[in-house]
Structures are given as structure tokens and as C-alpha cells.
Amino acid sequence: MRVEVIHGVNFDVLERRDAAVYGGLTLIELEGRIHGFGRELGIEMTFSQTNHEGEFCELLHKAGQGADGLVLNPGAWTHYSWAIRDALEVSQLPAVEVHLSEVDSREDWRSVSVIRDVCVGRVQGKGVDGYREALGILEKELR
């Protein structure tokens, strides 16, 4: 089983964001932990990150060529990018939406997810461990 993890805007500076909210890890450290979770489950992992919405869409367009499922954290795009939602739908891959923080209990605008209805699962507020849960959801979905 192959899973692509795609991180969105501001993940390249994750360590500079509020550690109480985002965990204080660098993107490389986060991906290392996620890779370990995947290895435990026998999942082959690939990773992408971009600060460009169109590029995020292109990654989704190409994901079906090498992945069986997706774990997505589009960052702020989650709350308003209909383009990403449409590209996710076009991918026709099962996807799990993940957020490091408990977005539903933060600012009102963060509780909106335009991708929620095209995902097979959603995990929030569990920090890095949320990615382990997301991989478990995908593993069951793809069995």
C-alpha cells in the first residue's frame, strides 16, 4: 500500500509557528515521525509540501499515478479552497484530512472544511499522533 502525505501552506516553517498549537517540530521531523508510523503499518510513504495552491492541486492530480491513498493537511486552504476540494475529488483516491491542532475549537473560520465531505476521515487536535490515526483509517479503507 502506498500513501502520499501532502502538506500545504506554511508547513515549511512549521518550527517557527506557535509550538503550543503546532508542536514545535520541523517539517522534516514531522515527516520522519509519520514515516515511522507508516513503516509500522507496512505502508510505503511519499511526502510533498507546497506554499502554492495551484501546485497543491497538481500534486493531487498526479497522486493517482503512484499512491493508493492520501493524507492531507492543506493548512489554511482547508477552510476555503474549492480548487483543492475539486482536485481531491478528481484524484478519486481515499483521503484523510489531518490537523495538528483542534481546529474546531479555535477561531470560527477554522471550523469550516471544504474538503471534509470528499474525505473518508478527519483527525484533528492529536498532534503528530493524528497522522498515525489517519494512516490507520486509510489502511482499513484500502484493505
Residue 80 is a catalytic residue: no
Residue 99 is a catalytic residue: yes
Q: Which of 35, 52, 99, 131 is catalytic?
A: 99
Q: How many residues does the chain have?
A: 143
Q: Which of 7, 22, 79, 131 is catalytic?
A: 22
Cite the active site residues: 22, 99
